[in-house]
Amino acid sequence: MQRVRKQVEDYGDTAAKGGDGIVVAMLDTGVAPHPDLEGRILCFRDFVSGNGSPDRHGTAAYDDNGHGTHVAGILCGSGALSGGRYRGIAPGARLVVGKVLDGQGDGAAETMLKGLDWIMGLQERYSIRILNISVGIGDLEDEQKERAMKEKLKQLWNRGMLVVCAAGNKGPGDGTVSSVGGDSMVVTVGCHDGNYHAGSLWRCEICSGRGDPRSAVRKPDLVAPGTDIISCCGNCYRFHGRWLNPYMAKSGTSMSTPIVSAAAALALRKYPAMNNEECKRKLQYTATDLGAPWNQQGWGMVNVRRLLE
């Protein structure tokens, strides 16, 4: 994460003010009340075990898997327990979180659809500008549900929300981008780490979902680092006055996606009149070409400094 955040710090993120005032919705495994996320959770609902339960806030949120907490930390963690070392990309942003995946990271299409309806209903109340889906949704057996999910994402996009989806980790074959990530009305994020451990077989870009070269929709849109990203751990706890197990490293396009969502939050904070279509194009056109095939890198690596300039 520091590899990307350095771009913001080199530029000087005062113009973007850390994404202050930008609200990002997340559909994931939930979010734990980690100290780095204190004051950042505006609203939480559990669609896995508490469908229909009232919205909750702050410490009432939970995450029995840890994936969502890690994603949230990348987005807007304060880095409080690390002296700022593991601060998120847009620490001024705030979160609306729907738990749509269980403790094993599994979920059903019906749960995701309910989560999308919930986000749509809260869009105006919280002025949600971005939806982050760090979930690589593969081809669903029920084509009707897959179409319904894509339709709801289109509705959110047409209502002005920037939808940012993971490319998934089914690569490196052609046409392995997540089913939902293959749609034109989302920003699809793959994983690439540039020169970080170049040549290593365990870098997440090896399994990052790739687009179909024959498709009229060229995917992914861009890439971001996703290997060994250190962020908030969902099992952080206090023992004799000390916080233990506060951070952990995870890899995958799930980690790349909130980097792009956070970059978008910085851009929307600096340019408040910019709509989602303009933000998508700005993310694409300011990316750094890595010289990789289009269906692997899209427009290239997210470049926060160029995005804000």
Catalytic residue numbers read 28, 67, 254
Q: What six digits make up the tokens of 32?
A: 């734990």
CA-based nearest residue to 223, from 250, 198, 249, 187? 187
Residues 6+ positions from 204 with CB-CB distance below 8 Å = 169, 191, 193, 226, 227, 251, 252, 253, 255, 256
d(CA 2, CA 309): 20
Identify the helix (H) or strand (E) that includes residue 307: helix 304-308
DSSP 115-163: HHHHHHHHHHHHTEEEEEE-------S-HHHHHHHHHHHHHHHHTT-EE
Pure H helices in 159-275: 253-270
Bond into 293 cis (ω within 30): no
Task: Identify whether the C-beta of residue 23 lies closer than 8 Å to the C-beta of residue 126.
Answer: yes
Kindly tell me the burial class for residue 226, based on how many C-beta atoms sit within 10 Å of its own C-beta (0-12, 13-18, 19 or more).
buried
d(CA 222, CA 270): 21
Q: Which amino acid is at 108?
A: A
Sign of CA dihedral 159, 156, 191, 65: positive
DSSP class of 40: T
